[in-house]
Amino acid sequence: MTTTTQVKTKGAEVLVKQACILADPEVWPSALTIALESLGLQVTACSELHELFEIARQEPFSILVLAQRNGAFAVRACRVMRDLQEVALMAVIQREGDLIEVLDAGADDAVVARIEAPLFAARVRALLRRTHPSTRSGGTIAIRDLIIDLEKYQVLLNERPVPLTPTEFRLLAVLGQQAGRVVDPRALLSAVHQHDYSERDAQNLVKVHIANLRRKLSDSGSRSPYILCVRGFGYMLERRSQIREGDPLTDYIDHD
């Protein structure tokens, strides 16, 4: 069976993997710059928030990093930076007590400055896996008879529009961009809402949205559903119209 997954972009620019950081020296050791570079990221450093704004508006970045000793400033900066690009935002702060506030303000992930460089690199790597690079002109994802138009925020199934809520559309778009890969509920929700949820809350919230999505895609009872629930792991948008015999995922798929 031929796999039919296509991602098309119209005149999209090639995105260079870059990281833009606004850092106070007190909370940004050189080891963390080296950690970013070890992930293949080109690092651009800014000294002022307005400078970061100007650069981020002109250049596409894979991740923005805010490393600040002043927790109140970090919170305010996260709120305004959220509108710069649809891009991963990492906060590095001095006090553990500021973690919740910067996450609530829009950071996709937050760590304390004393974090070991290998762990920081792993957190960034995980963050980049669960967030998708944006293109300036949008695009479409075609999976079998399902079309996800990222530019028009429209979904077609068998050439008929599927009415989705904004959250349902974003969840489906994330699954579409990771088609064929299992995405855990917490990563799904973080990519959609730019907020870190507990594992239990993420599972409960995503379960409801996925149930609505599967109903609208007529997945219930279908021999070739689009969204698979992989028990104990998460959800996947299935590229194939039939699961291959002996597929190791078969034993973990919930069909209801």
- Domain ranges for the chain: 18-130, 140-254
- The structure tokens 């959800």 sit at 235
Position 224 scores a pLDDT of: 84
Position 167 scores a pLDDT of: 84
What sign for the dihedral angle of Cα 167, 7, 123, 27?
A: negative
CATH code: domain 18-130 is 3.40.50.2300
* pTM for the model: 0.48
Domains 18-130 and 140-254 share a fold: no
Per-residue pLDDT of the chain (256 residues; tens, 9 = 90+): 334 444 443 333 333 478 989 999 888 999 999 999 998 888 989 888 777 777 766 667 788 899 998 888 888 888 777 655 567 889 999 988 888 888 888 888 899 999 999 999 999 988 887 665 433 335 889 988 999 998 888 999 999 999 988 888 989 998 998 888 888 888 887 777 766 677 888 888 888 989 999 999 988 777 788 998 888 888 989 887 666 555 555 655 665 5
Class of domain 140-254: mainly alpha
H helix or E strand, kind and range, residue 206 = helix 199-216
